[in-house]
Structure 1
Amino acid sequence: MTEALHTPGFSAPVRDAQRVFRAVLEAMSRPARPHPVDPGVAPPAPLGPLAGAIVLALADAQTPVWLDPALTRDEAAARWIRFHTGAPIVADAWDAAFAIASCPSAAPRLDELSAGTDEEPHLSATLVIDASDARPTGDLVATGPGVDGSLAWDGAGLPAGFLPQWRENGQRFPRGVDVLLAGRDGIVGLPRTTRLENAEAR
């Protein structure tokens, strides 16, 4: 075993996983706003602490995980995830239940991820983006379930060209990809039912 393999996971696996899982649920039920949570882990770089905590809380032996090239280059992050979750690492993003990007620019396009089926939309992928160093991308407005009227948001953590992809993703409902941003201020959830627009376009 390597040093990376021994990098600790949650100190109290059940309790800590439940704590992060609750934060993810809050983020998905109240989209486009950060939900603070203590990651409690220090995964191998370039996987950030909060993104790593989300993976540990959500992934298991039945959930294939895709990692971007930076995360697979020296295999430390992959070994850490496999050791602590048992999740298989897949080479094709389409086969993943969770796709992990170490920064916004490393995120796959949404149409490269499984959107589930009309009969089983819950089999779609979730994209997790490490947005801890991300800057605002623009003045956006979020609407939809979980948003009281509308909500202004700076879009920090979104990849370039995301809005057209997100509109297409929403048109596939009930199919579609969900997104979790592991930001500096907490987890930001974007369920497929959330609508995003440029503020100037409203």
Structure 2
Amino acid sequence: MRATAALSGGFQAPVHDSQAVFRTIMNALARPGTVHDLTPRAKPPATLSAEAGAVALALLDHETPVWCDQALAAAPAVADWLRFNTGAPIVAAPEEAEFAFVADPLRMPPLSSFAQGTADYPDRSTTLVVAVETLDARTGADIRGADLRGPGIATTARLAPHPLPHAFWDQARANHARFPRGVDLLFTAPGRIAGLPRSTRILAPEA
């Protein structure tokens, strides 16, 4: 069963599907805080969401070390699927990863735990792909969000991924303060994606 899961569920039209997902990812990062439709086009093993799996297929290759959170690491078929479909090596420590996949955002490590890049090579940092349930606050009054400003945002934008750790927005503000170092984030939800690059300033986290 595990071997079968690893060999199936990739893009049906690899070139076309990868390009389509890649364009959506780039648009999400270029316009922080805006929510974009994302057709998954992939069927990874359970625990790794279809949207996160599509991001993996579009961005990973044999030179991009990947870290999986505890929820994903507990499902060996996920690592098998990533290795088979992308060739990406799986690493044990967050700071070793170029990409990190998080299926349980409430228990994800602090953003400072991941590779931050250096002054000379700020691109040597981690991009986090965080699977959440929703990407806006309209679905519940208990959902915390933040107003955003920066490159790609005309005035301000609002983003409210849910669920996230209570201290997340404080971490995101500290992450921006390290710019040009720091991590970039992609949030996926069913059929949707949003970006939060390190260049984005966090204005007003809600109480």
The TM-score, its normalising length taken from structure 1, stands at: 0.92
Give the alignment of 1:130-149 within 5 angstroms: 130-132=131-133, 136=137, 137-149=143-155
For 1:160, which of 166, 171, 174 is the aligned residue?
A: 166
Task: Calculate percent identity across the aligned residue pairs.
Answer: 42
Match of 2:64 in 1: 63
Residue deviations 1:49-107, cap 9 Å, x none? 00110011111100000001111113010000000000000011110000100132132
Deviations 1:136-191 (A, max 9, x none): 43242111111111123334354331111111111111111000001235110000
Instruction: Choose from 191, 195, 204 the match for 1:198.
Output: 204
Tell me if 1:171 matches 2:185: no
Which range moved further: 137-146 or 37-46?
137-146
* Residue in structure 2 matched with residue 35 of structure 1 by the alignment: 36
The answer on whether the counterparts of 1:66 and 1:89 sit within 8 Å (CA) in structure 2 is yes
Q: Distance in 1 between matches of 2:173 and 2:85?
A: 35
User: C-alpha offsets along residues 111-154 of structure 1, whole Å, 9 cap, x if unaligned?
Assistant: 11001111111111101001146774324211111111112333
Q: Structure 1 pair 134/24, CA: closer, same or farther in 2 (3 Å)?
A: closer
Structure 2 distance, partners of 1:152, 1:98, is 25
Deviation for aligned residue 1:14? 1.4
AA paired with 1:191?
A: P
Which residue of structure 2 aligns with residue 101 of structure 1?
102
How many pairs align? 201
- State the secondary structure of the residue aligned to 2:119: coil
**TM-score where L is the length of structure 2:** 0.90
Partner residue in 1 for 2:140:
none
CA spacing shift, 1:103–1:74, aligned 2, 3 Å? closer
Structure 2 unaligned residues grouped into runs of 5+: 138-142
Unaligned regions of 5+ residues in structure 1, if any?
Answer: none
CA distance in structure 1 between the partners assigned to 2:145 and 2:69 by the alignment: 28
The answer to whether the 8 Å contact 2:67/2:99 transfers is yes
Show the 5 A alignment for 1:17-32.
17-32=18-33
Structure 1 counterpart of 2:39, which letter?
D
Q: Give the conservation status (yes or no) of the 8 Å contact 2:132–2:161.
A: no
Aligned to 1:120: 121
Q: Greater shift after overlay, 137-146 or 53-62?
A: 137-146
**Corresponding residue SS for 2:151:** coil
- Counterpart in the other structure of 1:188: 194
The 8 Å contact of residues 94 and 113 in structure 1, kept in 2 or not, is answered as yes
